[in-house]
Structure formats: C-alpha cells, structure tokens
C-alpha cells in the first residue's frame, strides 16, 4: 500500500514512514496541507493520514475537502 502522511513534526513523520516500511508498505510525507494537495494531485494514495493542526494557512479540515474529491475522481477514472 502507498500512504501519504501529512505531519509537520519531522520525528513523528520519520517514525510513521519507518513503521510503514517495516510492514512492507511505503509512506510519502508532506509537511503542510498545501504540499499534501500537490502530492495527491500527482499520485494516487491508498490512504492519507493527516495531522489536524498544520502550520500553513490550510489546516487539515480545510485541506481534506480538496483531497477527498481528488481521490474520488481518480478512483472513478481508473475503473
């Protein structure tokens, strides 16, 4: 599985990426809501994990309103 982990704390992000790898998965890391939007526009992730309090203008609750439709569109077009 391919995960996107959105987290501004580098230590937490690294721990999650290591955990995913130890379970045989891959995790990309975004440090902000804006970066998460760019990444979900370029890559189809199986699951997106998002920190609720992100440092940029776009917090997770706002960013997910954009990430979710991109994901649904990609799923529909892959059928």
**pTM recorded for the entire structure:** 0.70
Q: Is 24 left (phi over 0), alpha (psi -120 to 50) or beta?
A: left
Q: Is residue 55 helix, strand or coil?
A: coil
- Does 60 reside within a domain? yes
Task: Give phi and psi for 3, each to the nearest 5.
Answer: -110, 150
pLDDT at site 44:
87
Q: Which domain holds residue 43?
A: 2-26+36-77
- Does 12 reside within a domain? yes
- The domain tally of the chain equals 1
Comparing 3 with 71, the larger pLDDT belongs to: 3
- Does 70 reside within a domain? yes
Contacts with 38 (C-beta within 8 Å, 6 or more apart), sequence order: 30
4 DSSP β-pair partners: 28, 48
Comparing 66 with 75, the larger pLDDT belongs to: 66
- Does 31 reside within a domain? no
């Amino acid at each position: 599985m391919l995960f996107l982990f959105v987290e501004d704390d580098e230590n937490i992000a690294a721990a999650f990426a290591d955990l995913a790898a130890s379970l045989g998965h891959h995790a990309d890391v975004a440090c902000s809501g804006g970066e998460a939007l760019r990444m979900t526009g370029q890559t189809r992730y199986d699951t997106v994990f998002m920190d609720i309090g992100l440092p940029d203008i776009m917090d997770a609750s706002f960013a997910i309103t954009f990430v979710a439709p991109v994901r649904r569109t990609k799923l529909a077009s892959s059928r």
